């Protein structure tokens, strides 16, 4: 499988495998059975299915990890199967029928993506490839390539997504023995959208970046820089028309050695979809976004250096405090009002700094990560900034959660499924 990834220029391992490599104790996936892998390639989509154990696997009859590769993206899902008794009896007696029962699909951290009860998949494939040690016939030691042409009558439903077509929208099949896989997760449909760049929600931005390998790799570069360098590193992300490299061309921008911040000189008319940067280990560096980071969005917006629609723009940070966040514009009107009153000149920015550092927010490099995160989210909400904070997975930048503040000023994080 590693060979396949190498050939396809995937620098990063799928997060599920990367996490298992790190042997952390708090993982949702407790065991991956790599002795038997189902490998399907179909019209540019490749999927690998592993039988796995999870922390809550007593709730299900069996669970499979599905890793799907297409274009430059890796997607990972866990399928938890709880078949009907009749289906299980038939399966046990060797009668392989369309799956019937409950199917819960989660991400690799166990967060629910969808739950289909009584699903009856109409396209059924069985591709079991046993592979045991030295006797393994497979070229890379793990699995064997199968080119499977399938015809689905489609029970996946959904639509509206402008993603690639779903070769297998009907869902899982033959869950009993490392079954095949649904390279997609039942969405499918491939909706048509005439607007090439429609406004999307903060969570949608997070979901897209989750599976954008070049983006995750670049965040990895920032992580390395945050931990080892003594300057701020950044990248401007400019959309390319080809869709290559995850859809963005990256321009590196670095700050001065031992300095705070980066001087970014932009050309009029240059438009960027994002800016990501590091906060390295330094006395005043925050574990969250600084006032000057907020001002950066404001200035880029003011100078017309943000792609249209502005709501799709994101500012990212990776810090030496082992935090990573995205900031997006959720309400442009509110952001303009906020910026006009708090970011329009250096004195106003200083006053915002006073608000940052005074109670109740007290955002400072001396405070804990969680304090700064919650206080920053509260400040964004209470000051009506129109900005939305998202928290990321520092290990591999796979997955983002919105950091939300309710009307009682309580903070919750909500994973973007």
Specify the DSSP class assigned to residue 169.
Answer: T
Nearer to other proteins, 219 or 315 (CB): 315
Angle at 203 between CA 199 and CA 204, to 5 degrees: 50
Quote the crossing angle between the two packed helices 291-302 and 332-342, to the nearest 10°.
110
Token pair recorded at residue 252: 């590196």
Least distance from C-beta 268 to other proteins, angstroms? Answer: 5
Query: Up-side HSE of residue 373: CA atoms within 13 Å toward CB?
Result: 22
Q: How far is the CB of 274 from other proteins (least distance, A)?
A: 14
Task: Decide: residue 391, CB within 10 A, 0-12 exposed, 13-18 middle, 19+ buried.
Answer: buried
Q: Give least dist CB 163 to other proteins, A.
A: 33
The total of other beta-carbon atoms located within 10 Å of residue 172's CB is 27
Is the C-alpha dihedral spanning 49, 55, 56, 61 positive or negative?
A: positive
Closest to other proteins by CB, 319 or 342: 342
DSSP state of 13: P
Q: Which is nearer to other proteins, 150 or 405 (CB)?
A: 405
Q: How many CB atoms lie within 10 A of CB 291?
A: 21
**54: Cβ–Cβ under 8 A, 6 or more apart, which residues?**
28, 29, 30, 63, 78, 80, 110
CB nearer to other proteins: pick between 30 and 358: 358
363 forms bridges with which residues in the sheet?
A: none
Residues binding other proteins (CB under 8 A): 232, 234, 255, 259-268, 277, 284, 290-293, 295-296, 299-300, 303, 305, 338, 341-342, 345-348, 350-351, 353-355, 357-360, 378, 382-383, 408-410
Of residues 305 and 401, the one with the C-beta less far from other proteins: 305
The residue (of 48 and 361) whose beta carbon lies closer to other proteins is 361
In the complex, least distance from residue 259 CB atom to other proteins, rounded to whole angstroms: 6
CB nearer to other proteins: pick between 87 and 376: 376
Compute the least distance from the CB of residue 366 to other proteins, in Å.
Answer: 9
């Amino acid at each position: 499988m590693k060979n396949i990834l190498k050939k396809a220029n995937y620098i990063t391992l799928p997060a599920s495998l990367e996490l298992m490599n790190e042997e952390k104790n708090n993982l949702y996936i407790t065991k991956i059975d790599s002795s038997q892998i189902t490998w399907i390639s179909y019209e540019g989509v490749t999927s690998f299915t592993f039988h796995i154990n999870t922390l809550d696997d007593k709730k299900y009859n069996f669970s499979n990890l599905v890793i799907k590769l297409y274009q430059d993206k890796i997607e990972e899902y866990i399928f938890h199967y709880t078949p009907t008794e009749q289906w299980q009896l038939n399966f046990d007696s060797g009668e392989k029928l369309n799956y019937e029962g409950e199917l819960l699909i989660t991400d690799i951290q166990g967060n629910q993506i969808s739950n289909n009860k009584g699903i009856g998949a109409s396209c059924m494939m069985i591709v079991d490839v046993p592979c045991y040690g030295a006797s393994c016939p497979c070229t890379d030691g793990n699995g064997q390539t199968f080119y499977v042409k399938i015809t689905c009558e489609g029970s996946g439903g959904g639509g509206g997504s402008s993603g690639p077509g779903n070769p297998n929208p009907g869902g899982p099949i033959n869950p009993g023995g490392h079954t095949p896989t649904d390279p997609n997760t039942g969405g499918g449909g491939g909706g048509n959208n005439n607007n090439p760049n429609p406004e999307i929600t903060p969570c949608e931005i997070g979901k897209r970046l989750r599976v954008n390998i070049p983006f995750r790799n670049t965040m990895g570069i920032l992580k390395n820089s945050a931990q080892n360098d003594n300057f701020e590193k950044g990248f401007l992300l400019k959309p390319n028309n080809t869709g290559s490299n995850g859809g963005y061309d990256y321009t590196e921008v670095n700050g001065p050695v031992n300095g705070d911040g980066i001087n970014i000189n932009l050309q009029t008319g240059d438009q960027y979809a994002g800016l990501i940067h590091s906060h390295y280990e330094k006395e005043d560096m925050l574990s969250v976004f600084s006032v000057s980071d907020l001002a950066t969005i404001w200035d880029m917006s003011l100078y017309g250096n943000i792609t249209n629609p502005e709501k799709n723009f994101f500012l990212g940070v990776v810090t030496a405090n082992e935090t990573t966040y995205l900031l997006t514009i959720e309400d442009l009107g509110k952001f303009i009002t906020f910026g006009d009153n708090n970011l329009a000149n250096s004195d106003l920015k200083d006053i915002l700094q006073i608000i940052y550092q005074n109670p109740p927010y007290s955002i400072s490099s001396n405070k804990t990560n969680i304090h700064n995160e919650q206080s920053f989210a509260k400040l964004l909400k209470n000051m009506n900034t129109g900005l939305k904070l998202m928290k990321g997975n520092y290990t591999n930048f796979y997955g983002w959660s919105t950091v939300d503040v309710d009307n009682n000023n309580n903070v919750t994080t909500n994973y973007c499924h």
